[in-house]
Amino acid sequence: MMSASAQPKKPFHVAICGGGIGGLCMAIGLIKQNIPCTVYEAAPAFAEIGAGVSFGPNSIRAMELIDPAIKRGFNNCATYNGSPEERDVWFDFRIGTSEEGWKDFKTGKPPVKEGEFLAKVVAEGYGQASVHRAHFLDELVKLVPEEIAQFGKRVEKVEEKGSRLLMTFEDGTTAEADAVIGCDGIKSRTRHMVLGSDHEATSPVFSGKYAYRGLIPMEKAIGAVGEYLAKNSQMYLGHKSHILTFPIEKGATMNVVAFQTQPDGKWENEKWVLPMKESDMFSDFEGWGKDAKHVLSLMEKPDVWALFDHLPAPTYYKGRLVLLGDAAHASTPHQGAGAGQAIEDAFVLSNLLGDCKEVGDIERAFRAYDEIRRPRSQKVVKTSREAAELYEFENEEDVGSDGADVNIESMKGKLRDRCKWIWNEDLKAQLESARKVVRIGSGRANL
């Protein structure tokens, strides 16, 4: 961590509950705006769960707009496709299932052949930009003054105390702030405070999908599938399942995520991450081709992750308490866009708070953030589920009601184009739209 420098100028103090990627990007944004803040992290130290995470062009631009130092830190640990000619490619999409894997399809017959190439999806300038979560978090920690972080602080309650907000933590301690930003993840307690514990959108819901996640040393991966497939991001599609692979750790490791559908659509276990039983994984992917099976057999210490997301919340704020990142709009990972939405949140919200002159301006800033960020971020959650349906031949629009008329050309077009609206967002225009909402709310619409 770095040391704090100039005395902050803003006459209010912001508490950030949660020190993951979204929370730290928010803290860096507030520091850039000379807003005093404190990060309250539940764990004994900053830490991220999981391995590889992808960021689209929109989120990398958001990093630079918050503070160019974030993008420099990202570049220090980012990995791209190994082949220079594949630098702009997000994923190659191809069929991974053998003929046996289609036995449960509507027709019982394969609509496409194993290994058939479907589409090359380009994210111009960035391609598949991925990092190891913990390594990127380490880069963010370097940009946060040590004295603004407090650990072992899981927020239990936020309530008004005069003109301020009083936070009560699980350890019995309390703290005050003028505004609170809930960055406490998909199981967010601050979300309960904003929506109420009985609201249908408060608690996360099972998406019907789970995933085996693991890592493979790159040399072993090359031995399994060859240099091109190992070093460049690939997505293998099948019926009700798909597998993706991409390089991380500067190409030293291949990250593998193998998605599967829960037949009854329910997740009964209280834990969302479970040790993998190898027999279960191979049973799940019994009908897959030899390349896929070889990759799965090499995964080191894989776990099973249940995939949850949020139903759309009617609001992201209540008074001077606001939600950011997964606390606001937890998503499934099928578009590689969830973490990037947290960074977009941090860009817009830190700038809106930077525009505030006094505590009385904060709620208007939160209202504008909610109005502009909520529709876009919730669309990402919705379309992520739709992406899984597309990848797994469950989209009736393309496979037909009986599966007899699979429209492969339509699927190819959707694969190529579906993420462009996420990647090509004008973030500066998004911020200006939010600022206009603030001006209208304060009677200064023409300023």
Q: Give the separation between CA 387 and CA 394, rounded to whole angstroms.
A: 10
Q: Give the separation between CA 255 and CA 11, rounded to whole angstroms.
A: 45
Q: Sign (positive/negative) of CA torsion 356, 344, 19, 322?
A: positive
Q: In angstroms, how far is CA 368 from the centroid of its own chain?
A: 22
Q: Sign (positive/negative) of CA torsion 216, 222, 227, 229?
A: negative
Q: Give the separation between CA 402 and CA 412, rounded to whole angstroms.
A: 20
Give CA separation, 214 vs 76, 171, 298, 355, in Å.
Answer: 23, 34, 9, 44
- Of 330, 358, 34, residue with least CA distance to 204: 330
Q: Determine how many CB atoms are found less than 10 A away from the CB of residue 128.
A: 29
Q: Give the separation between CA 121 and CA 89, rounded to whole angstroms.
A: 6
Q: Give the separation between CA 323 and CA 251, rounded to whole angstroms.
A: 35
- Of 133, 171, 165, residue with least CA distance to 42: 171
- Any residues with CB less than 8 A from the CB of 74 and at least 6 apart, and which? 55, 60, 63, 129, 131, 136, 139
Q: Give the separation between CA 387 and CA 395, rounded to whole angstroms.
A: 9
Known active-site residue 133:
no
Q: Which of 133, 191, 213, 320 does the annotation list as catalytic?
A: 213
Note the residue count of the chain: 447
Give CA separation, 114 vs 261, 392, 406, 440, in Å.
Answer: 20, 14, 15, 56
Residues tagged active-site: 213
